[in-house]
């Protein structure tokens, strides 16, 4: 139902779809779809708010969902014709870069203040990201000493949990810990 109310040139209120501004005066016509609003809230909760509060751990825990969110942003910007979703894509790219820089400087700080070093050589290298199930494995269980020591059962289980739309780190972590009796 549309409520149209505009002043005409005579000054009388009339129900009219046309007006002098050229903009539609329909109520609710400019409202974005629910799924776009939901995606924006997820981006804020997982990335923007933790960045603002400098809670880097939460950003790192949720980085696994980034590729799925970027795909949805691209899809929804075409479907819903929401131009601001491209800004969210750019913002997420910036947040990933900031996370990499933060981790880099944190590692440098550990190197400088280790206390037992005679000399140091510094070089900057971009972080190599593994597949999401391996990243989550490291965050939930810990990094094994050798790559071959990853438990394939746990990796497959994590990969199956990643198929859930908008999977969250806490839910995946709880489910993995419960399934494999990990404390």
**Total number of domains constituting the chain:** 3
Q: Which of 103, 121, 139 is the last residue of a domain?
A: 121
Dist CA 31 CA 28 (whole Å): 5
Q: What is the pTM of this model?
A: 0.61
Based on the domain organization, do 38 and 109 belong to the same domain?
A: yes
- The residue range of the domain holding 72 is 33-121
Based on the domain organization, do 5 and 52 belong to the same domain?
A: no
Pairing mode, strands 13-14 and 6-7: antiparallel
The tokens describing 38, both together, are: 């939901």
Based on the domain organization, do 111 and 46 belong to the same domain?
A: yes
Q: Which of 121, 147, 165 is the last residue of a domain?
A: 121
Tell me, what's the pLDDT at 111? 74
Q: Which of 71, 94, 121 is the last residue of a domain?
A: 121
Based on the domain organization, do 90 and 19 belong to the same domain?
A: no
Based on the domain organization, do 108 and 137 belong to the same domain?
A: no
Based on the domain organization, do 23 and 8 belong to the same domain?
A: yes
Based on the domain organization, do 74 and 94 belong to the same domain?
A: yes
Based on the domain organization, do 139 and 104 belong to the same domain?
A: no
Tell me, what's the pLDDT at 23? 58
SS3 60: helix
User: CB count, 10 Å around CB of 158?
Assistant: 26
SS3 166: coil
Tell me, what's the pLDDT at 89? 93
pLDDT in tens, the chain (183 residues): 344 445 555 666 655 555 556 655 555 555 788 899 999 999 999 999 999 999 999 999 999 999 999 999 999 988 877 778 989 999 999 999 999 999 888 887 777 766 665 665 666 667 778 899 999 999 999 999 998 899 999 999 999 999 998 899 999 999 999 999 988
Based on the domain organization, do 48 and 97 belong to the same domain?
A: yes
Based on the domain organization, do 164 and 88 belong to the same domain?
A: no
HSE, CB side, 13 Å, CA atoms: give it for residue 104: 13
Tell me, what's the pLDDT at 3? 43
């Amino acid at each position: 139902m549309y409520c149209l109310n505009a002043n005409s040139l005579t000054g009388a209120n009339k129900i009219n779809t046309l007006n002098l501004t050229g903009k539609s005066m329909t109520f609710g016509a400019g409202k974005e779809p629910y799924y776009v609003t939901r995606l924006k809230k997820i981006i804020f909760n997982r990335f923007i708010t933790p960045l603002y509060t400098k809670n880097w751990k939460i950003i790192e825990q949720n980085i696994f969902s980034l590729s799925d969110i970027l795909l949805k942003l691209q899809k929804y910007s075409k479907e819903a014709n929401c131009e601001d979703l491209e800004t969210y894509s750019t913002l997420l790219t910036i947040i990933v870069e900031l996370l990499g820089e933060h981790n880099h400087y944190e590692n440098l700080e550990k190197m400088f203040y280790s206390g037992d070093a005679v000399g140091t050589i510094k070089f900057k290298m971009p972080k190599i990201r593994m597949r999401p199930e391996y990243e989550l494995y490291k965050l939930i269980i810990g990094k094994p000493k050798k790559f071959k020591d990853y438990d394939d059962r746990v990796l497959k289980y994590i990969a199956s949990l990643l198929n859930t739309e908008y999977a969250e780190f806490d839910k995946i972590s709880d489910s993995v810990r419960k399934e494999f009796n990990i404390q």
